[in-house]
Amino acid sequence: MSAQNVIAIHPAADLGCTDVNLASVLKERGQREVFCGLTGIIWLHRKIQDAFFLVVGSRTCAHLIQSAAGVMIFAEPRFATAIIDERDLAGLADCNEELDRVVTRLLDRRPEIKLLFLVGSCPSEVIKLDLSRAAMRLSQRFMPKVRLLNYSGSGIETTFTQGEDACLAAMVPVLPTTTEQAPAALLVVGALADVVEDQFARTFAQLGIQGVRFFPPRNSADLPAVGPNTVFLLAQPFLADTARALEARGATRLSAPFPLGSEGTTQWLQAAATRFNVPTVVFDAVTAPGRQRAATALARLRPQLEGKRVFFFPDSQLEIPIARFLSRELGMQLIEVGTPYLHRQHLSEELAMLPAGTLLSEGQHVENQLDRCRAARPDIVVCGLGLANPLEAEGMTTKWAIELVFTPIHGYDQAADLAELFARPLLRRLKIGGISKSPPKAELLEA
């Protein structure tokens, strides 16, 4: 490790009381290997079914979205890129006029769009195109038929899940306000697969917690109201700005681990049950079948994963809850758990459940981390696509971090699916002949 790139290694004694279980947090700054926030469009456009995401960016941005999302042949996609070309960059064209023209044409052609996001990118930020003013200007023109909002998905200082955070945070100011007399209501925050959302909605109803809302909604006309009587549970660990915006509207966050794995799901549901005074006997009766199903399914996979050593590169911000799940419910060993950002408050319950001495790294210096990874020779490496193929070429087994966001993994019935995401690559590696003994470093650098 080259010392000048490491900002600090904090011993446990310097950490807050929620970090009692941590031996150290390695903070790194250097070259990062992550996708940008535009990636979030891929799952958000499926979730909010009458929304459209117009990236204001370059051809690179267009290629990223198209190749990551795939091109739909039978349905028109609900995302596109307004390309900033050389004339815009040279200041020869009025970008605002061009944007207005593109938006007008789009909304004429696609009357089903009710919510249009103008999504900023690196190029739009470099030329300082003010998309918030553009969204306001165009909203005045197209409201009430279409609402326009804006957020940034640029790769300047973001990691790919921050795209969802920025999108949801942009929606918070337009959420209706609850009336003062309204009873306390639960809001689940973070895009979940519809199947998972339906499962949680059923569980909350069985617990007797009425009127639970999910954010983002499936339809932009169905925005949940928010106010001082709103309590919210984060379903994803990467929603710091959204949580802050909700708190600014008077809502209160319920502290809980994230609903990944059986244990995380139980404690997440328990946080809501405690807040809404659900009797223990009811909670146990409602959650017992789910816990049992998860235990049975995980028991089948545990022999393949127990004792296996896992190394996380920082990528999705899901690393810490998933590391907790893999170590506590499947007996895997955590070599290093990298995360792009460590939100100590939102992750305090998760951090307390990690095994003592877990090495956490925050931020990234990719060369240093590759050196540590090679030295450790883990059984499986969780990393971005850019690192996965070269590491596979070195004989390591990898799991693409982005799959953790695209796959339904929350809740009891998805706990085994989450475990399988790790079991499958290990099985494949076993079939093709195990881990190579000599890491050819040059091969990686050339790849």
Tell me how far apart the alpha carbons of residues 197 and 259 are, in angstroms, rounded to a whole number.
12
Nearer to ligand SF4, 39 or 414 (CB): 39
Q: Does 162 contact ligand SF4 by CB under 6 A?
A: no
DSSP state letters, 210-264:
-S-EEES-SSTT-PPPBSTTEEEEESSTT-HHHHHHHHHTT-EEPP---SBHHHH
What is the contact mask toward ligand SF4 in residues 98 to 137, using x (rule: CB under 6 A)?
A: -----------------------xx---------------
Positions 9 through 38 that interact with ligand SF4 (CB under 6 A): 36, 38
Q: Does 154 contact ligand SF4 by CB under 6 A?
A: yes
Nearer to ligand SF4, 120 or 378 (CB): 120
Number of residue whose CB is nearest ligand SF4? 155
State residue 417 phi and psi, 5-degree precision. -65, -40
In whole angstroms, the minimum distance from the beta carbon of 64 to ligand SF4 comes to 4
11: which 2 tokens? 């011993």
Nearer to ligand SF4, 340 or 411 (CB): 340
| Region near ligand SF4 per CB under 6 A, out of 56-64, 186-194, 220-228, 345-353 | 56-64
53: left (phi over 0), alpha (psi -120 to 50) or beta: beta
Tell me how far apart the alpha carbons of residues 317 and 340 are, in angstroms, rounded to a whole number.
6
In whole angstroms, the minimum distance from the beta carbon of 226 to ligand SF4 comes to 30
> Which of these, 1, 33, 26, lies nearest to 12 by C-alpha position?
26
In whole angstroms, the minimum distance from the beta carbon of 367 to ligand SF4 comes to 20
Q: Does 64 contact ligand SF4 by CB under 6 A?
A: yes
| C-alpha 411: how far from chain center | 16
The structure tokens 């198209």 sit at 66
Q: Does 327 contact ligand SF4 by CB under 6 A?
A: no
Nearer to ligand SF4, 121 or 339 (CB): 121
In whole angstroms, the minimum distance from the beta carbon of 81 to ligand SF4 comes to 9
- Count of residues near ligand SF4 by CB under 6 A: 12
DSSP state letters, 384-441:
-HHHHHHHHHTT--EEETTHHHHS--BSGGGHHHHHHHHHHHHHHHHHHT---SS--H
Instruction: Tell me the CA distances in angstroms from 73 to 67, 70, 284, one per residue in order.
Output: 14, 9, 47
In whole angstroms, the minimum distance from the beta carbon of 120 to ligand SF4 comes to 8
124: which 2 tokens? 């739009």
In whole angstroms, the minimum distance from the beta carbon of 373 to ligand SF4 comes to 24
- Reduced to 3 states (helix: H, G, I; strand: E, B; else coil), residue 80 is strand
Nearer to ligand SF4, 119 or 323 (CB): 119
**Which of 58, 262, 358, 364 touches ligand SF4 (CB under 6 A)?**
58
Nearer to ligand SF4, 155 or 264 (CB): 155
- Which residues face 51 on adjacent strands? 115
**Which of 41, 54, 61, 212 touches ligand SF4 (CB under 6 A)?**
61
Decide: 37 and 158 in contact? Cβ < 8 Å: yes
What's the length of the chain? Answer: 447
**Exposure of 342 in the CB half-sphere (CA atoms within 13 A):** 25
Q: Does 60 contact ligand SF4 by CB under 6 A?
A: yes
**Which of 32, 40, 155, 384 touches ligand SF4 (CB under 6 A)?**
155
Q: Does 192 contact ligand SF4 by CB under 6 A?
A: no
- Which residues face 27 on adjacent strands? 8, 362
ω into 217 cis (within 30 of 0): no
In whole angstroms, the minimum distance from the beta carbon of 405 to ligand SF4 comes to 16
| Strand 24-29 relative to strand 6-11, pairing | antiparallel
In whole angstroms, the minimum distance from the beta carbon of 82 to ligand SF4 comes to 12
In whole angstroms, the minimum distance from the beta carbon of 48 to ligand SF4 comes to 20
| Region near ligand SF4 per CB under 6 A, out of 42-50, 53-61, 98-106, 373-381 | 53-61
Positions 356 through 385 that interact with ligand SF4 (CB under 6 A): none
In whole angstroms, the minimum distance from the beta carbon of 127 to ligand SF4 comes to 12
The structure tokens 């499926």 sit at 46
220: which 2 tokens? 């932009």
In whole angstroms, the minimum distance from the beta carbon of 158 to ligand SF4 comes to 8
The structure tokens 């409201």 sit at 143
Q: Does 166 contact ligand SF4 by CB under 6 A?
A: no
In whole angstroms, the minimum distance from the beta carbon of 95 to ligand SF4 comes to 16
Nearer to ligand SF4, 37 or 411 (CB): 37
* Residues lying near ligand SF4 in the complex (CB under 6 A): 36, 38, 57-58, 60-61, 64, 121-122, 153-155
